[in-house]
Amino acid sequence: MKRFPALPLAIVAFGVARAGWAQTRPQWPFLVPDKEQPPAKAEAGPIRIPDSSKTYTAAEIDNLAHPPDWFPDEHGPVPRVVEGASGLTALACGSCHLMRGQGHPESADLAGMPVEYIVRQMTDFKNGTRIDPARMNAIAKITSEEDARKAAEWFAALKPTVWVKVMESTTVPKSFVSTRGRMRLPLPAGGTEPLGNRIIELPQDAARAESRDPHSGFVAYVPVGSIEKGKRLVASGGAGKTINCNICHGDDLKGLGDVPRIAGLHPIYIGRQLYAFQGSEYSGTSAALMKKVVAKLADEDILAISAYVASLAP
């Protein structure tokens, strides 16, 4: 096992170009709802998913303060901050990250992440040294330190599962990003289009994903050749373009000490974070190492690394 290197001052002081990134970033990692939305199907009556005896209404499924727990037998007692409760207004972690922690491409996979890593991210979201304007800054602000730690301990104890199947392809189902949950979904009218230089991550089953089913994962379509290209960049440091990821994230990229697992995360999430490290979303001390790692990465490198790392077993 390699040791986690000490933080050299030169890296901490490393300046990163901040202005202008937002304009030049490709769109695929950033799930911005499309202006044109297909007509929403009204879900009437109770909703079921395979293998669960429970039923919920659409409104219950979308109650972010008290989300569904489809498989209560698969886990021990859940802290209140994660499962919420009727009558609470604070958003429960289990709604967006799911009770099993794997999350959706627009949120994050927290299963098995180190406790101290999760706690530190919550502190960074709270004090604004990590920015996620859509969700986490506001959530962290109203989450007590005690609850953040309880949630961290809960998610850290969950076993990560293979949740995203990465597939090389030249075409992809036509899709849109929904206003309702910021999730990318296949267009109901069907059809395919060229994938181009993008990663498109879609639910294996849209209805199940929208029901927050923790048993139904995702498929990521990535350009042909991108996995091999990502593997070369990650293993060799890409001829000075970056630093071998395994020095810090562990040989199998499953995490090392407090450095998080990156293997098997949503490729959309990985790409979004690599751009965020290049930009001004991260400004804390703990992000300084990653700012050095991403400084010279071009769009095509970020795409290839995201495809490869997501394809690894978590």
Q: Binding residues for ligand HEC, per CB under 6 A?
A: 5, 64, 81, 91, 93, 95-97, 106-108, 110, 113, 118, 120-122, 132, 134-136, 139, 143, 148, 151, 234, 242-243, 245, 247-249, 259-260, 262, 270, 272-274, 282, 284, 286-287, 289-290, 293, 305, 309
Tokens of 58: 């659409």
Q: Is the distance from CB of 158 to CB of 111 less than 8 angstroms?
A: yes
Nearest to 25 by CA among 283, 302, 289: 302
Nearest to 220 by CA among 208, 204, 241: 204
Closest distance of CB 2 from ligand HEC, Å: 10
Closest distance of CB 49 from ligand HEC, Å: 20
Distance CA 217, CA 145 (A): 31
Nearest residue (CB) to ligand HEC, 175 versus 278: 278
Query: Which residues, at least 6 apart from 243, have a Cβ–Cβ distance to it below 8 Å?
Result: 237, 292, 293
Distance CA 20, CA 216 (A): 38
Nearest to 64 by CA among 89, 33, 101: 89
Nearest residue (CB) to ligand HEC, 226 versus 242: 242
Nearest residue (CB) to ligand HEC, 108 versus 166: 108
Distance CA 93, CA 156 (A): 13
Distance CA 234, CA 28 (A): 21
Closest distance of CB 192 from ligand HEC, Å: 28
Nearest residue (CB) to ligand HEC, 193 versus 251: 251
Closest distance of CB 274 from ligand HEC, Å: 6
Nearest to 274 by CA among 296, 255, 248: 296
Nearest residue (CB) to ligand HEC, 219 versus 243: 243
Nearest residue (CB) to ligand HEC, 193 versus 252: 252
Nearest residue (CB) to ligand HEC, 134 versus 187: 134
Q: Is the distance from CB of 190 to CB of 174 less than 8 angstroms?
A: yes
Closest distance of CB 114 from ligand HEC, Å: 10
Residues in the chain, how many? 314
Closest distance of CB 166 from ligand HEC, Å: 15
Closest distance of CB 207 from ligand HEC, Å: 20
